[in-house]
A and B are shown apart, each in its own frame.
Chain A
Amino acid sequence: MKAFPKRILALDAATSACSAALWREGRIVACRFQVMTRGQSEALLPMVAQVLAEAEEDKPDLIAVTVGPGAFTGIRIGLAAARGLGLAWSVPVMGIATTHALAASLTPIARQGRRIVVSLDSKREDRWVQVFDQNLIPLTPPHSLMPDEILALATDQDIVLDDDNLHTDAAIVAQLAADAWLAETGLPPQPLYLRPADVTLPTRS
């Protein structure tokens, strides 16, 4: 295994926000975050340039990016950026699930003794759900469930994160990537769409 990374650049464009963060030896030294449902392809790389400049770093040792589940276009923007940077810097790229990043937004005290059920809007009838234990260990993979199935699954003891106003944040993604590096639980930098492509013929101008 390669040496533990000193600097991690994290990116996120997979839900309804856009963010970049630079983590260095245990803490976030620069970050940018903005709520947006579209426009990530304009905003993301300028954010990366800003956090690098602010942290006075040329390049990181590891790139982490959210790979879904989430908005397909946003997932691709994050991955295209992360993989392009990884290619040009010759730096490895690690995937982090959006569900994982949302579960990790809870403090360890809030999580104590409880399961966390993360439920994301899929823009269809179903929702994308992943369950974690109090230490953020996944108990299920991210998968599609109908609302009544989620009700049946979640107990009163569980924390259910199903507020569609919650946003993933690269600052949390960076810390998760450091943990995932040690535990070797990082995901490949591939999209987690959880749904095949909708087949509709294109409209041409």
Chain B
Amino acid sequence: MTTKFERDFVVLVLGIETSCDETAAAIVDDQRRIWVDRVLSQTEDHKPFGGVVPEIAARSHLDHIDRLIAEALAQTGLKLDDLDAIAATCGPGLIGGVMVGATMGKAIALAAKKPFVAVNHLEGHALTPRLTHDIDFPYLLLLASGGHAQILAVLGVGQYRRLGTTIDDAMGEAFDKVAKMAGLGHPGGPQVERAAQTGDPARFALPRPLKGRPGCDFSFSGLKNAVRLVVESLPRPLSPQDQADLCASFQQAVTDSVAERTTNAIVQFKQHWPVGTHLVVAGGVAANAKLRDTLSLLSHRHGLSFLAPPLSLCTDNGAMIAWAGIERFRLGLTDGLDFAPRPRWPLDPDATQIRP
């Protein structure tokens, strides 16, 4: 028996996300309505270790994911029978956690006799601007998170051309490491941003990685080492002012570098896909206000509209997985219960071969 409500949509999907340190479940429809979006952060569980511990994450996902799904259904009054498909992140990510969510999703799909959609976590981030702002393909996407730093032309569902990626660290990883060196806590992104507010971005001369070089790749490890050298030259523990100046200088260097690399990407994008109208930023690092403001100015200067989804949809969440599930389901792209979770799963599999 189905729930009594006016069905003004065609597709309704449950999305499950367990690939890093957020356990999440959401229900979304194809009218871009988020019925419920439950996210349980494990930040506190991992704090003592200064990073995400895979085994702790996997244990915590199993402890909570079924309860979150049950609560999401109860909260909306929806029944599993009302859904059209079950979507779950099947990679890339910490594989122990991915397996928990993927297996739970398959089990629900089997029992409820619904199709299963195996979602690439990165595609969840990449398609979020179509959930929040209904924009058309193609668009240019900067994906910056704890595990990634890449810039992609999004051409369609499952169709991506990677224009650039990090040649060493992920962007969020660089923030985390700098926070640690500065004596700030985990996760580093918000800590560095907060400290930077009262700091002098010009006090420490830090490098702008790859500046002036062709292409759109990123690099953060040289910058990270430069920060280490600065820290070693300062009296320790760092004074609050030193912390603030260091964070402000680092944030400025990252922003300058990303802006420069993104400019190259915009030029390439406009050349190959002139009908595209948007630059979109997604992933946890998109929460950084300095970076958002800079990229916003940059895109307007180059004739693109800038779009950043709300913060809650930039960090890991279930709604983006449900939405990617909707996009794939509409195209008939469903998966078998034997789908193998993938620790690595590039959006543009061809890109790895043409990398220098």
Contact = CB atoms under 8 A, between A and B. Distances in A.
Interface stretch (B108-116, B134-142, B281-289, B317-325): B108-116
Contacts of B59: 72, 76, 191, 193, 197
B51 A201 contact: yes
A80 B173 contact: no
B344 interface: yes
Contacts of B146: 204
Contacts of B344: 205
Interface stretch (A41-49, A114-122, A144-152, A173-181): A41-49
B116 to A, nearest CB: 9
A88 B106 contact: no
B107 A199 contact: no
Nearest to B94: A202
Contact of A88 (B92, B94, B112, B341): B112
Contacts of B99: 41, 73, 76-77, 80
A81 B106 CA distance: 8
A43 B338 contact: yes
A89 B108 CA distance: 8
B158 interface: no
A108 interface: no
Interface of A: 39, 41-46, 48-49, 59, 72-73, 76-77, 79-85, 87-89, 191, 193, 197-202, 204-205
B170 interface: yes
Interface string B160-187: 0000000001100100000000000000
Is chain A's binding surface mostly helix, strand, loop or mixed? Answer: helix
Contact of B52 (A39, A88, A202): A202
Given A41-B103, A42-B340, A198 B55 contact: yes
A49 B112 CA distance: 12
A87 B51 contact: no
B50 to A, nearest CB: 7
Nearest to A74: B99
A50 to B, nearest CB: 10
Contacts of A197: 53, 55-56, 59
Interface residues of B, number: 44
Given A41-B341, A82-B107, A193-B59, 17 more contacts: A41-B99, A42-B340, A45-B107, A49-B337, A72-B55, A73-B99, A76-B59, A79-B62, A84-B66, A84-B105, A88-B110, A191-B62, A200-B54, A201-B49, A201-B50, A202-B94, A204-B147
Contacts of B49: 199, 201
B110 A49 contact: yes
A80 B288 CA distance: 35
A88 B56 contact: no
A45 B336 CA distance: 10
21 contacts: A41-B99, A41-B103, A42-B338, A42-B340, A43-B338, A72-B55, A72-B59, A76-B62, A80-B66, A80-B101, A82-B107, A83-B104, A84-B66, A85-B107, A88-B80, A88-B108, A193-B59, A198-B55, A199-B49, A205-B92, A205-B147
A89 B112 CA distance: 7
Given A41-B103, A46-B338, A191-B59, A200 B108 contact: no
